[in-house]
Amino acid sequence: MSESIFVKDLNVWFDKNHALKDVNITIPKNEITAIIGPSGCGKSTFIRCINRMNDLVTKCKVTGEVKVDGQDIYDKDVDVVEVRKNIGMVFQKPNPFPKSIFENIAYAPRIHGKDEDKSLRGTKVSKYSKKELSDLVERSLRRAALWGEVKDRMEKSAYELSGGQQQRLCIARALAVDPQVILFDEPCSALDPIATAKIEDLLVDLKKDYTVVIVTHNMQQAARVADKTAFFYLGELIEFSETKKIFESPGEKLTEQYITGRMG
Amino acid sequence: MAHKRRMTAKRRRFYDSSIFVILSIVSVFAILVLVAVAAFLLINSIPAFTQVNQWGFFTGTVWDPTNPIEPLYGMVPLLVSTLIVTFVSALIAIPIGLGATIYLAEIAHPKIRKVMKPAVEVLAGIPSVVLGFFALTVFAKFMWEAFAPAWRPSDYLNLFNGAVFLAIMMVPIMVSLSEDAVNSVPRSLKEASMALGMTRWETVWKVIIPAARPGIVAAVMLSIGRAVGETMVVVMATGSSPQLTFDPFSSGQPITSTIAIEMGEVAANTPHYYVLFELGLVLFAITFALNYVADWAMRRHTERYQ
């Protein structure tokens, strides 16, 4: 498997708080990588570095190298808009826009326009026609396994959906800008077990086309869906390997303590 | 032990119900005051309905209540003055208010915001008589001389002069309320938009402002209501001449000025006296309608999105 995300010597400070320390990790393409660890270990901080969401936090300082598809996303010449288009994100709590179901999906593609030619990303952009846009919305909703449930009420407010449906809507919204990587920041922590199972099925299905990174508090969830698992503790990457190995024969004592519930 | 516990439960119930009763009385009192004011206006203006030609009141274009031969009570010049002053002040205040809101809520550095927000709110506390005084002595002179001799306002004291200072009073109210509305848009929506590759400006324009729109509309409506009802600035700045004019640079006399100026001089229980109350009723209806629209805008939001 080829690499998708390559991280070297990543350090993050929030003011004086050293949140991530010398993280080195290579996340493979078209696999699910789970990030686990106790609260405050830097899991969310880590994935927010991958799409530069930490830029929004004042007094946040990032050093090191993060390469996505070979490109250093912290390079001065990089357009952060392109970075975030290429790397979708789904958040802890479903956060649909206060718009209709259709508009939630159509929002970003309509503003970005379509790329006629992938190799000329951003240079040759034209607007979607009405038909293309509604096709794109349908395709995204189908991909997120939500189409059947919403196709008759596309003009209704997204807030009328259940929590699990809202979260799948947010996934569809991220898919609509055609990213390579999708980051999930504890996507199921606000959902019931049935909604969670649906999202997990979806994750496994999505890895065929996308690289998936998921932060989770739920170790069973990591064990169920992830190909590889990374364990973070106090801002450091303690261990990263096959999920099976992490859960059955962890190489580090800390990892073992965490997964057996003696810590965190 | 059991006995003691029963006593405390009883006592707790007593506290609980007495707080309930006190709060009910207080809130009923607030509503009663409103009803009383409305009733007072209505009762005092009822004689005007019969003693003054109502058609003439609502459509008359001459306000000359002290004419010894035939007093004329046409409210149109007063209403037009009020509308011009309100419209012009809204025209000035809304762009400034919204610009300042977006700047404060989304663009300004936190350190600047910390200083600016209280400063804007202090501006809301400037007594209107001080602003009126400034309008009368400084700004009127400035307007008169700034572009002379090429251009001078039609009158030294004019409606525009009042509108500028009403705008100065409106901006802080608008900024304070609409900044709260913008700030109460959940951070998660902003993050969602940024994560889709939107720029900060696209996010503000397409997500944050639409989500905050009902609060912004309410803020605008409330500040316009303030302008309609404001008296002191317009008494001092607009020249107080009840002529029918559509020129914002000539003198006028809004409804509030008329009541304030004439109520002190009119003999009680005369038609003129009652008509002033009827003017108050008209004013009350206008501000009530504005507040209702503001309320409706907020309610519509909560029904649709929550």
**B12-67 pLDDT, tens digit each:** 888 889 999 999 999 999 999 989 999 999 999 999 999 999 999 999 999 999 99
Q: Which of B38, B78, B41, B75 is nearest to B57 (CA)?
A: B75
Do B131 and B215 sit in the same domain of this protein?
A: yes
Is A157 within 8 Å of B189 when comparing Cβ atoms?
no
Alpha-helical (H) ranges within chain B are 2-51, 54-59, 76-102, 110-123, 128-134, 140-146, 159-183, 187-195, 200-203, 209-229, 232-237, 255-263, 271-305
B178's tokens: 């609409």
Q: Which of B30, B51, B72 is the last residue of a domain?
A: B51
User: B202 and B193 in contact (C-beta within 8 Å)?
Assistant: yes
Name every chain B residue with its beta carbon within 8 A of the beta carbon of A125.
none
Q: B192 — contact with chain A (CB < 8 Å)?
A: yes
* CATH code of the domain in which B296 resides: 1.10.3720.10
- Looking at residue A157, what DSSP letter applies? B
Other beta carbons within 10 Å of B209:
20
Question: What domain range is B27 assigned to?
Answer: 2-51
Looking at residue B76, what is its pLDDT? 96
Does domain A3-259 fall under CATH 3.40.50.300? My reply is: yes
Per DSSP, B171 falls in state H
Q: Show me where the domains of chain A are located.
A: 3-259
Dihedral sign for Cα A18, A24, A28, A34, please: negative
Question: Smallest CA–CA separation between A48 and chain B, in Å?
Answer: 10
Task: Name the token pair of A4.
Answer: 């998708």
Across the beta sheet with A17-28, the strand order is A17-28, A3-14, A60-68, A71-72
Tell whether B26 and B114 lie within a shared domain. no
In degrees, rounded to 5, the angle at the alpha carbon of residue B158 between the alpha carbons of residues B153 and B163 is 115
Residue B294 has pLDDT above 90, yes or no: no
pLDDT at A127: 83
Confidence at B232, pLDDT banded by 50, 70, 90: very high
Q: What is the pLDDT of residues B66-90, one digit of tens each?
A: 999 999 999 999 999 999 999 999 9
Residues 6+ apart with CB under 8 A from B281: B41, B42, B45
Distance of CA A194 to the CA centre of its chain: 21
Nearest to A53 by CA among B304, B197, B12, B123: B197
In a domain, B214, yes or no: yes
Residue B251 domain-assigned (yes or no): yes
Does one domain contain both B138 and B233?
yes
Residues B172 and B89 in one domain: yes
Q: Is A19 helix (H, G, I), strand (E, B) or coil?
A: strand
The answer as to whether B16 is a domain residue is: yes
pLDDT tens column, A149-195:
999 999 999 999 999 999 999 999 999 999 999 999 999 998 999 99
> Is residue B298 predicted with pLDDT exceeding 60?
yes
Indicate if B132 and B24 belong to the same structural domain: no
Say whether both B19 and B106 belong to one domain. no
DSSP of B114-133? HHHHHHHHHHTTS-HHHHHH
In a domain, B56, yes or no: no
Terminal alpha carbon distance of chain A: 32
Whether the predicted pLDDT of B3 surpasses 70: no
Interface test with B, best of A107, A121, A177 (most B CBs within 10 A): A107
Asked if A157's CB is within 8 angstroms of B195's CB, the reply is no
Torsion of CA B172, B178, B181, B185, to 10 degrees: -120
Rounded Cα distance between A152 and A141, Å, is: 13
Q: CA torsion sign, B249 to B255 to B257 to B258?
A: positive
Q: Tell me the nearest-neighbour CA distance from A110 into chain B, angstroms.
A: 11
Q: Are B194 and B280 in the same domain?
A: yes
Q: Do B192 and A97 touch (CB under 8 A)?
A: yes
Residue B36 lies in a domain: yes
Residue of B nearest to A51 (CA): B195
Burial label for A181, CB within 10 Å (0-12, 13-18, 19+), is buried
Clarify whether residues B247 and B122 are in a common domain: yes
Chain centroid to Cα A79, Å, comes to 19
Cβ count near B266 (within 10 Å) = 17
Output the six-digit token pair for B158.
């004019």
Q: Is the dihedral of CA B62, B65, B67, B72 positive or negative?
A: positive
Tell me how many domains chain B contains: 2
B107: nearest CA partner in chain A: A56
Residue A123 has what pLDDT? 55
Are residues B187 and B208 located together in one domain of the fold? yes
Sheet holding A211-215, edge to edge: A87-90, A181-185, A211-215, A32-36, A228-233, A236-242
Q: If you average pLDDT over residues B228-239, what whole number do you get?
A: 93
Q: Average pLDDT for residues A37-57, to the nearest whole number?
A: 90
B88 falls within a domain? yes
The model's pLDDT over A119-151, given as tens digits with 9 standing for 90+, comes to: 545 555 678 888 999 999 999 999 999 999 999
Q: Are residues B219 and B82 in the same domain?
A: yes
The lowest-confidence range among A18-32, A52-66, A168-182 is A52-66
Residue in A98, A95, A82, A88 with CA at minimum distance from that of residue A175: A88
Note the pLDDT tens digit of each residue in B142-157: 999 999 888 999 999 9
Say if residue A72 is exposed, middle or buried (CB neighbours under 10 Å; 0-12, 13-18, 19+). middle
Among B196, B198, B304, B306, the residue to mutate for chain A (most A Cβ within 10 A): B196
Mean pLDDT confidence for B247-275 = 94
Q: Is B253 exposed, middle or buried (0-12, 13-18, 19+ CB in 10 A)?
A: buried
pLDDT over 70 for what percent of chain B?
96
Buried b or exposed e, range B84-107, using 16+ CB within 10 angstroms = bbbebbbebbbeebbebbbebbbe
**Confidence at residue B306, expressed as pLDDT on a 0 to 100 scale:** 45
Cβ atoms of residues B247 and B154 within 8 Å: yes
Strand, helix or coil for residue A8: strand
Tokens at B233, concatenated: 């600035």
Going A166 to A167 to A170 to A176, the CA torsion angle's sign is negative
Q: Which residues of A touch B197 (CB under 8 A)?
A: 81-85, 108, 112, 177
- Quote the CA–CA distance of B195 and A89 in Å, as a whole number: 6
Nearest CA in chain A to B203: A108
B19: in domain: yes
Angle between helices B76-102 and B255-263 (to 10 degrees): 120
Q: How far is CA B170 from CA A68, A85, B297, in A?
A: 50, 41, 19
B252 and B278 belong to one structural domain: yes
Q: What is the DSSP string of A186-254?
A: STTTTS-HHHHHHHHHHHHHHTTTSEEEEE-S-HHHHHHH-SEEEEEETTEEEEEEEHHHHHHS-SSHH
In the predicted structure, residue A84 carries a pLDDT above the cut 60: yes
pLDDT tens digits, B172-208: 999 999 999 999 999 899 999 999 999 989 999 999 9
Look at residue B57 and tell me if it is in a domain. no
